[in-house]
Amino acid sequence: MKKVGMIITVIMLAAMMFAACSKDGDMQTNAAPTDANTDATTAETPTPSYAAEDVVGIWCVGSMLDAAGAPVSADEMQRLGAGFSMELLASGDYFVYAANGVLLGQGTYSVVGNVLILSAGGDETRYVIENTDALRTTSDDDSVTVMVRSVADIETDVPDEDTPDEFDVDE
């Protein structure tokens, strides 16, 4: 009897995962529950909506997952050329730079709901905006790249120690 229960659970989980996938293979974050026993009072979580201003800044590769979902090592990321960064300007233009700062390419971008769409030369790359500090894209081979906001892009109110304090008064 326990085997039957486990098999039913696995089938239900597989059905839920299948229902959560679009035809492109990208996971949908707002898929409806498929379990008939789900409490009717459970509200569906709405997909967040972002504005272009939310993604302006410099983004770097934070992590990668292979097609099986396993983390890619730092050595493998380097071999794959994952040291690039991306600068998104408020004008809707973007630039991609190699780790050494050389410009690799450029294009335009737009934001629709929780999706960042990069366009260049007739091609599009779509990133799901996880939050204002993380973007995720799934490649054709089912590998995943997560971009994170660059620490250099985060403004701070810490004064520069080399800058004299204009309010110092010599006594």
Residue 112 lies in a domain: yes
Residue 119 lies in a domain: yes
**Residue-number span of the structural domain to which 91 is assigned:** 52-153
CB burial readout 104-139, b (16+ within 10 A) else e: eebbebebeebbbebeeeeeeeebbbeeebbbbbbe
Residue 62 lies in a domain: yes
How far is Cα 66 from Cα 64, in angstroms, rounded to an integer?
7
Q: How many CA atoms lie within 13 A of 152 on its CB side?
A: 6
| CATH assignment at residue 118 | 2.40.128.280
Residue 17 lies in a domain: no
Residue 131 lies in a domain: yes
- 97 pLDDT above the threshold of 60: yes
Residue 5 lies in a domain: no
What total number of domains does the chain contain?
A: 1
Residue 142 lies in a domain: yes
For residue 57, what is the DSSP state?
A: E
Mean pLDDT to the nearest integer, 22-51:
55
Q: Give the pLDDT of residue 153.
A: 58
Give 154's pLDDT tier (boundaries 50, 70, 90).
Answer: low
Each residue's pLDDT tens digit, 131-146:
999 999 999 999 999 9
Q: Which ranges of 51-93 would DSSP assign to H, the alpha helix?
A: 74-79
- 57 pLDDT above the threshold of 90: yes
Residue 10 lies in a domain: no
Query: Reduced to 3 states, what is the DSSP secondary structure of residue 136?
Result: strand
- 115 pLDDT above the threshold of 90: yes
